[in-house]
Amino acid sequence: MTGPAGRIADQAAPLRQMASSTWSGPDPVPGPGPSSWRLARTLTVTSGKGGVGKTVLAVNLALALGELGLRVALVDADLGMANVDVVLGLMPRYHIGHVIRGVCSLEQALCPGPKGVLVLPGASGLADLAALDEARLWQVLRELRQLDRLADVVVVDTGAGIGPQVMAFLEASPEVLVVATPEPTSITNAYGLIKTLVQSRSTGRDVAPRLFLAVNMDRRRDEGQRVVRRLQTVVGRFLGVEIVTLGIVPYDGAVALAVAEQTPLLLRRPDSPASRAIRQLAWRLMDLPEQPQRPGLSGIVSRMLRRMR
């Protein structure tokens, strides 16, 4: 089939099958193993306002999870300004856009990072997914499913705001970490993002979101707590959903230093106040019961594409 309508029909089968939480057909990635694979838990990190520390938290949270002995993948899904590799001081040859276009395999694009974390560098190529033909889409989803099997947890760093692609990705994500700072604009934008997400979920087909909150760049002891109380109250009262606080990360001069040196904070200053707080976020995350559904990154991407059609 040709033309956009034909392409949509072509894409439907792989999208439906990959969107299910467990894979019921033959395993898409050859090799030994059970017929129903346990896929990675995914945490999508986002914010209403830019520059609040999503990338810093996503990178260091991934490392903290790696320290706990988990197999962790860190995916840069920031479509505008992919910079996970910069914060980690990596110089990747390939990125996610190359995988999507078939220039390289997922395995070739994955960079080994500190603490055993596998890093999939970002690019603007995610938008190209919507235009792939059926065969190529199957291939990409199969590659992503490989990552879902390689990792216990996949941490996904996204861009800020409520653009259609970011929203479609968030709507498809089972667990979303919203990062906010005590700045009034950051709090207002975080609420706006959560509201958009909750309202679109209620009209869509996907399961209810599990929302987490992290307050970053807290400068005073009581300020972060105030932000947590305020957001939890308004989200509960006006949107009728719960947002679980993972923790509060203090403003810490060591963060800017680590970013400037392109060395992750957890390596550069493992005992700094922000490092300690990020480790607590990781412990809290792993302590909390997770969503029963584990669509993995491959499932999120296929759900996202269905929502964007």
Cite the beta strand spans of the chain per DSSP E: 41-46, 72-77, 111-112, 118-120, 153-158, 175-180, 210-218, 243-250
Pick from 55, 186, 275, 302: which binds Mg ion (CB under 5 A)?
Answer: 55
85 binds ligand ATP (CB under 6 A): no
Per rule CB under 6 A, is residue 278 in the interface with ligand ATP?
A: no
With contacts defined by CB under 5 A, name the span among 46-54, 67-75, 109-117, 287-295 that binds Mg ion: 46-54
- Complex with ligand ATP: residue 125 or 204, whichever CB lies closer: 125
Residue placing its CB nearer to ligand ATP in the complex, 27 or 183: 183
The answer to whether residue 236 forms part of the interface with ligand ATP (CB under 6 A) is no
Q: Least distance (Å) from Mg ion to the CB of residue 82?
A: 8
The dihedral built from the CA positions of residue 227, 232, 233 and 234, taken in this order, carries a sign that is positive
- CA-angle at 14, arms to 13 and 19, nearest 5°: 105
Query: What's the Cα-to-Cα distance from 194 to each of 37, 72, 303, rounded to whole Å?
Result: 31, 26, 19
Q: What DSSP character marks residue 241?
A: -
Tell me how far, at minimum, the Cβ of 54 lies from Mg ion, in Å: 5
Angle made by CA atoms 85, 45, 189, in degrees to the nearest 5? 120
Query: Distance between CA 273 and CA 189 in Å, rounded?
Result: 26
Query: Among 77, 251, 269, 307, which residue sits at the site for ligand ATP (rule: CB under 6 A)?
Result: 251
- Do the strands 153-158 and 118-120 form a parallel or antiparallel pair, or are they unpaired? unpaired
Q: Does 169 bind ligand ATP (CB under 6 A)?
A: no
- For residue 93, give both structure tokens: 């040859």
Nearer to ligand ATP, 44 or 55 (CB): 55
Residue 246 in contact with ligand ATP, rule: CB under 6 A: no
What span, in angstroms and rounded, lies between the C-alpha atoms of 201 and 211?
Answer: 12
158 binds Mg ion (CB under 5 A): no
- The answer for residues whose C-beta is within 8 angstroms of residue 178's C-beta and 6 or more apart is 46, 47, 48, 190, 193, 194, 211, 212, 213, 214, 243
- 55 makes contact with ligand ATP (CB under 6 A): yes
51 lies in the site for ligand ATP, by CB under 6 A: yes
Residue closer to ligand ATP by CB (options 115, 276) is 276
- The residue ranges that bind ligand ATP (CB under 6 A) are 47, 50-56, 78, 81, 159-160, 216-217, 249, 251-252, 255-256, 259, 274
- Using CB under 5 A, list all residues that contact Mg ion: 54-55
